């Protein structure tokens, strides 16, 4: 048979229970505050990092436009020389580019239903380090299918004039960036 607690013992038990409940509630509140603080700090970090990256890009563009034509030409030549040197190093490794179009060649990452793309007025840097200026490139199924000075634009093709910018087929795959 269970003994009945006296009123003073009941008060002690209820105060112990209240203390235990208060400690559990306090722990939960501390965990919630820590979790909320962590989430806020993470979101603040992500936001600041995104702003910094955007500002870096804007600063690079503004810095480039603030250069004189001669400085822009020197920067352009320096970047081209660096890229050509890297491509020549790849050529020394006996990695030769595919010089002829192979109909059996496919790109597994290409979207099958994508429209053909014609890239006009490009400076093509081939895998051996040579450059061809004023090229037009037909990209179909994720593969360069034709490179020539003038290409007849297929029906429903998207045409992009790159204004002499560099096109480097396979460079990303070649150096595993």
Q: Which helix (DSSP H) or strand (DSSP E) does residue 47 occupy?
A: helix 7-65
Does residue 129 fall inside a structural domain? Answer: yes
Task: For residue 145, tell me if it sits in a domain.
Answer: yes
Looking at residue 136, which CATH number applies to its domain? 2.30.40.10
- Measured from the Cβ of residue 73, the count of other Cβ atoms closer than 10 Å reads 11
Q: How far apart are CA 128 and CA 85, in angstroms?
A: 10
Give pLDDT, residue 171.
Answer: 61
Average pLDDT along the chain, 177 residues, taken 10 residues at a time = 54 61 74 88 79 69 78 83 76 60 72 84 78 87 83 88 82 49
Number of domain units in the chain: 1
Q: Report the pLDDT value the prediction gives residue 1, as an integer from 0 to 100.
A: 41
The whole-number pLDDT of residue 176 equals 43
Phi, psi angle pair for 157, to nearest 5°: -85, 150
Whether residue 80 is contained in a domain is answered as: no
pLDDT number for residue 149: 84
Residue 37 lies in a domain: no
C-alpha distances (whole Å) from 132 to each of 102, 122, 139, 160 are: 21, 8, 17, 17
Whether residue 42 lies inside any domain: the answer is no
Residue 50 in any domain: the answer is no
Cβ atoms of 123 and 83 closer than 8 Å: no
| Distance, CA of 34 to CA of 117 (rounded, Å) | 52
> What confidence score (pLDDT) does residue 78 get?
84
Whether residue 93 lies inside any domain: the answer is no
Q: Is residue 131 part of a domain?
A: yes
Domain hosting residue 131, numbered range:
98-175
């Amino acid at each position: 048979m269970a003994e009945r607690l006296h009123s003073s013992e009941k008060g002690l038990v209820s105060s112990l229970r209240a203390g235990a409940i208060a400690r559990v509630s306090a722990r939960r509140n501390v965990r919630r505050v820590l979790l909320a603080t962590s989430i806020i700090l993470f979101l603040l970090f992500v936001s600041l990092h995104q702003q910094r990256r955007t500002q870096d890009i804007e600063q690079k563009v503004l810095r480039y436009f603030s250069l004189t034509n001669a400085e822009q030409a020197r920067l352009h030549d320096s970047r081209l020389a660096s890229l050509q040197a890297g491509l020549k190093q790849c050529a020394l490794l006996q990695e030769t580019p595919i010089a002829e179009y192979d109909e059996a060649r496919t790109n597994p990452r290409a979207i099958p239903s994508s429209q053909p793309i014609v890239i006009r007025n490009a400076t093509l840097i081939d895998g051996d380090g040579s450059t061809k200026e004023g090229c037009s490139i037909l990209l179909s199924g994720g593969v360069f299918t034709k490179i020539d000075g003038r290409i007849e634009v297929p029906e429903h093709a998207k045409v992009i004039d790159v204004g002499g910018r560099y096109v480097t087929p396979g460079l990303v795959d070649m150096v595993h960036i």
